[in-house]
Amino acid sequence: MHKSLVGKYSAPVPRYTSYPTAPHFDVAIGNGEYGQWLAELSQGASVSLYIHVPYCDRLCWFCACHTKHTLKYEPVATYIEALFREIEAVSSRLREGVTVSALHFGGGSPTMMTPEDIIRLGDHLKSHFSFQKDAKISVEMDPNDMDDARYDALAEIGMTRASLGVQDFDPKVQKTINRIQTFDHTRSVVEAVRARGVHSVNCDLLYGLPYQTLETLENTVSQITSLDPDRIALFGYAHVPWMKKHQTMIPEAALPDVSMRFEQARLAARLLQEAGYQTIGIDHFAKPDDSLAVAAREGRMRRNFQGYTDDAADALIGLGASSIGQFPQGYVQNMTATGEYQRMTEESGLAAVRGIALSSDDVMRAYVIERIMCDFRLSFADLDKRFGALASAIRSEARQFAVANDDNLVEIRDDECVITEHGKPFARTIAATFDAYLSNGKGRHSIAV
């Protein structure tokens, strides 16, 4: 693909794990609205739970997550008690009959918790929420945290999917991003979780890292595919030092330019496809029989704050500092500062400080953007059926974009707006054309390639 085209469509835009995106959340939404939205979930509704543990015993320079470094366990132990209070407050507001279909532990490093606290937290969740028998339980792992006791604790709480951060195995890249992690160590983690009955393993890779080359990336992909993970996420490193100050530790001169980032992404995608993985959306890959791959083929794939998912829950409940919940009525986010989050849970159990209530136009555009990011196409008939007269605005905008764009990114075919193979790498940029909030200038984003 011509370099000028890559440059043209690489301007910073959101990743669209939600719409409207988090920079547009407002303090007008708080605990009152959150409590009401919890109570309004219907009997028989299903929910996903996300637990955020915002602590790491090492800080990776590339990370853009809400987390903090600590070498003492006391802050983590105190934080877990606040989580218990929030779990109690949230569960008490749900109607009887609301069940949990999925649970995701993220961070930070949730595997920094002691084995005893992992089990205590799992027990507390299951004593306050009604879990479906086939509920999926996934855990983000830092391989450097892991030992036999933690593997056993995670098996005891019913972990069904292990998600391992890898990034890149090249020693120079690892040293520059402060993420030392050997291939042999990573392989031992995969073997340990599989030995305990965990059949689904996900690995996260990054391109666009400092000193990363096509050769180092190819070696990393080869090593990862030798582990035979069920899913692989291939993310572009988001360099946002204005938001995450520790990223200033990364030498910007060592970062690949936009054209090289694009070449790295295309190389990794080709290698993963040749290894038998199905491309999922813009940055995921899965074995053809994986549930996410099946959902993608059947048009059931969705997108939320954890990325692509086959979870069909009616709502996502975020627990912990900075966590975001997603409800039919809107989004709500908890206090980010851990100390203030803990204080708020002592007062009322809830710690929501901002969010957004969705208008009819928001709901429609969220659906449009999700379908672009998941399916690379929009059915106008489907939009008409779902949104009636409102859909005419999207029809018009899609047709205008198709006519005005002379780079063959989208086409109108049989009453559908279809992103071409040529346009798929720029799906985020195409989705941004339907974002009614983007022009107000709130928020800075990572580049789209």
pLDDT digits (tens, 9 = 90+) for 329-378: 999 999 999 999 999 999 999 999 999 999 999 999 999 999 999 999 99
Here the CATH number for the domain that contains residue 214 is: 3.80.30.20
Residue 335 lies in a domain: yes
**Structural domain containing residue 159:** 21-357
pLDDT at 433: 94
With beta carbons less than 8 A apart as the criterion, state whether 354 and 25 touch: yes
Residues 88 and 140 in one domain: yes
Mean pLDDT of 217-233: 97
Tell me: pLDDT of 63 over 90: no
Here the CATH number for the domain that contains residue 393 is: 1.10.10.920
Boundary (domain end) residue, out of 313, 329, 357: 357
Residues 123 and 227 in one domain: yes
User: What token pair was written down for 308?
Assistant: 């692509």
pLDDT tens for 104-161 read: 999 989 999 999 999 999 999 999 999 999 999 999 999 999 999 999 999 999 999 9
- H runs (alpha helix) in 131-244: 148-156, 171-177, 183-195, 214-226
Residue 449 lies in a domain: no
Residues 6+ apart with CB under 8 A from 130: 97, 98, 99, 100
pLDDT at 376: 97
Residues 244 and 304 in one domain: yes
pLDDT tens for 69-114 read: 898 999 999 999 999 999 999 999 999 999 999 999 999 899 999 9
Residues 145 and 242 in one domain: yes
Q: What percent of the chain stands above pLDDT 90? A: 85
Residues 92 and 140 in one domain: yes
Residue 145 lies in a domain: yes
Tell me: pLDDT of 20 over 80: yes
pLDDT tens for 25-55 read: 999 999 999 999 999 999 999 999 999 999 9
Residues 215 and 117 in one domain: yes
Average pLDDT, the chain: 94
pLDDT at 262: 93
Mean pLDDT of 221-247: 92
Residue 411 lies in a domain: yes
pLDDT at 449: 65
Residues 98 and 138 in one domain: yes
Mean pLDDT of 272-279: 98
pLDDT at 447: 60
Residues 98 and 238 in one domain: yes
Given pLDDT bands bounded at 50, 70 and 90, which one contains residue 66? confident
More confident residue, 130 or 8: 130
pLDDT at 386: 97
Going by their DSSP bridges, the two strands 416-419 and 410-413 should be labelled as antiparallel
Tell me: pLDDT of 443 over 60: no
Boundary (domain end) residue, out of 340, 357, 374: 357
Least confident interval from 13-22, 179-188, 275-284, 434-443: 434-443
Tell me: pLDDT of 328 over 90: yes
How many domains are contained in the chain?
2
User: Considering Cα of 167, then 168, then 172, then 174, what sign does the dihedral take?
Assistant: positive
pLDDT at 264: 96
Given pLDDT bands bounded at 50, 70 and 90, which one contains residue 62? confident
Task: Look at residues 74, 5, 135 and name the one whose alpha carbon lies nearest to residue 422.
Answer: 5
With beta carbons less than 8 A apart as the criterion, state whether 167 and 206 touch: yes
pLDDT at 377: 96
Residues 350 and 370 in one domain: no
Residue 231 lies in a domain: yes
CA distance 337 to 68: 10
pLDDT at 234: 96
Boundary (domain end) residue, out of 357, 375, 410: 357
Residues 319 and 429 in one domain: no
Beta bridge partners of 164: 141, 203
Mean pLDDT of 281-288: 96
Residues 206 and 287 in one domain: yes
Residue 443 lies in a domain: no
Residue 445 lies in a domain: no
Residue 2 lies in a domain: no
Task: Look at residues 244, 134, 145, 132 and name the one whose alpha carbon lies nearest to residue 189.
Answer: 145
With beta carbons less than 8 A apart as the criterion, state whether 305 and 17 touch: yes
Residues 324 and 259 in one domain: yes
pLDDT at 150: 98
